[in-house]
Amino acid sequence: MSIGYVALVLHAHLPFVRHPESDYVLEEEWLYEAITETYVPLLKVFEGLKRDGIDFKITMSMTPPLVSMLRDPLLQERYDAHLAQLEELIELEIEHNAHNGHIKYLGEHYAKEFSETRLIWERHQGDLVTAFKEFQDSGNLEIITCGATHGYLPLMKMYPQAVWAQLQVACEHYEETFGQPPRGIWLPECAYYEGLERMLADVGLRYFLIDGHGILYARPRPRYGTYAPIFTETGVAAFGRDHESSQQVWSSEVGYPGAAEYREFYKDLGWEAEYEYIKPFIMPNGQRKNTGIKYHKITGRGLGLSDKALYDPYWAREKAADHAANFMYNRERQTEHLHGIMGRPPIIVSPYDAELFGHWWYEGPWFIDYLFRKSWYDQQTYKMTHLADYLRAEPSQQVCRPSQSSWGYKGFHEYWLNETNAWIYPHLHKTAERMIEISTIEPEDELQWRALNQAARELLLAQSSDWAFIMRTGTMVPYAVRRTRSHVMRFNKLYEDIKIGKIDSGWLEKVELMDNIFPNINYRTYRPL
């Protein structure tokens, strides 16, 4: 008999990046890389577990922008071409390294992976959302939602309608996609402010995820810390992130992904190969980029990229198995310790960005595979669970008020509001005010109806927390700035055209084609609450 629960929760999110107006935009490859390195490998793990009779339980958010991109015919077509180019490059690499045994071995490893990716992609006809839905329907995967465009909710709380729109649009989009309302939500950036739970309850959600200190500093202090959810006064449950299990994976100092045997992320063929050779496989303007083909391992701390040894997937897989065993062992001891103190089954909630597994940590999907297999066969101390299942099994919890928090740097809001990105908020606040103002208009014709709905889309897209995050990290900043400005400018033109009753139908059609997220949105969601 198990005496506790472990909930593995993955946050699958990418900002909405889709550029039909251009033949090539580098940032679209964020999606293609994630499909190849994270989403298809996870499906492969799930399929293997299911085939072998392992009744695994895992929770995963799939945000509306990600779902929209995965189901978009244009992006599906472009991904197919992207994968074909990878297949072409790796065949060329195998031929090119016929007399370099280790590189040829790695090339054949990648060729096999790309071939398996192609098989899964074509078997599902490019519709990976339906592929994941099948595991939800079988009871193995619990898919939860997020904010409509991953907007940072505490920084828009002065406009409750804007927060409401992020929640309602997300829930409606989820139901359109999965045929049922969502039970839970991964709050964007795990960012919570007091009072948000009322809207979560009103939109029909039953639980949300929050960083550990949002629970630990709740009022009154929760008796069981982060090892049991708390109920808010609205009845919506809050689950807190477990620090110990998070650190084992996330920590740059002691986390598993830093092991010497694992693949080195920052040494890529796109930057290493001779220029004329790699030129057909990099950016059309001739700039180098990552290809996803990497031949070296981390090797050791403090080494420069030029000192890295060659990678070996065999030993990396062995290390992933060791780490899965260690993670399981630590969760067993943690569960036993907590059960002894609490006198009831604890739940250890371990949330991570999904893209960590495969994209950043190449061996991450192997780790997940081994963890579920070992947890199924090699221990009986804890039970892997979905958060909704846990609430059904343990319906009595303490009632508390969570503390304002996020899972960002220093645990509050400064990563999304600082000297690099503060300039965006006056514009976002003004657009929110204007959207609330025009939400009371009754459209005179279909053209005005379309313009009002497109204005709502532009505001949601401008509010994505990804743009402020990128400005703070200092990578791809011009793109994040351009996206923020373009959505605000499009909104302002729509607002002005609506106000004067003269809508540019040709321009509107172009914008609808580019920013086509949420085809069934209703601008009235912004009406005063």
Q: Which active-site residues does the annotation give?
A: 189, 353
Distance CA 218, CA 230 (A): 9
Here the contacts of 19-24 (C-beta below 8 Å, separation 24 or greater) are 19/514, 20/74, 20/513, 20/514, 21/510, 21/514, 23/284, 24/283, 24/284
Distance CA(121)–CA(115), nearest Å, equals 10
Structure tokens at 130: 């339906």
For 138-282, strand residue ranges (E) read 141-144, 184-186, 207-210, 230-231, 237-240
Helices (H), 251-312: 269-272, 275-278
**How many residues comprise the chain?**
529
Q: Give me Rg for the CA atoms of the chain.
A: 24
What are residue 464's DSSP bridge partners?
A: 151
Contacts of 133 by beta carbon, 8 Å cutoff, 6+ apart: 143, 177, 178
**Cβ contact 255:301 at 8 Å:** no
Phi, psi of 247 (to 5 degrees): -60, -35
CA-nearest of 45, 57, 54, 44 to 9 is 57
Tell me which long-range contacts 503-506 makes (C-beta under 8 A, separation of at least 24). 503/447, 503/448, 503/451, 505/447
Q: Chain-centre distance of CA 524, in angstroms?
A: 28
Rounded Cα gap, residues 105 and 526, in angstroms: 57
Q: Is the dihedral of CA 33, 39, 44, 48 positive or negative?
A: positive
Map residue 275 onto helix, strand or coil. helix
Contacts of 523 (CB under 8 A, 6+ apart): 435, 438, 439, 452, 453, 455, 456
Phi-psi category of residue 69: left, alpha or beta, with phi > 0 → left and psi -120 to 50 → alpha:
alpha
Q: How far apart are CA 107 and CA 507, in angstroms?
A: 47
Structure tokens at 366: 């192997």
Tell me whether strands 237-240 and 230-231 are parallel, antiparallel or unpaired.
antiparallel
Report helix, strand or coil for 360.
Answer: coil
Beta bridge partners of 460: none
- Report how far residue 42's alpha carbon sits from residue 214's, in angstroms, rounded to the nearest whole number: 30
The answer to whether 241 is a known ligand-binding residue is: yes
Distance CA 34, CA 292 (A): 10
Binding residues for substrate: 241, 258, 407, 466
Binding residues: 241, 258, 407, 466
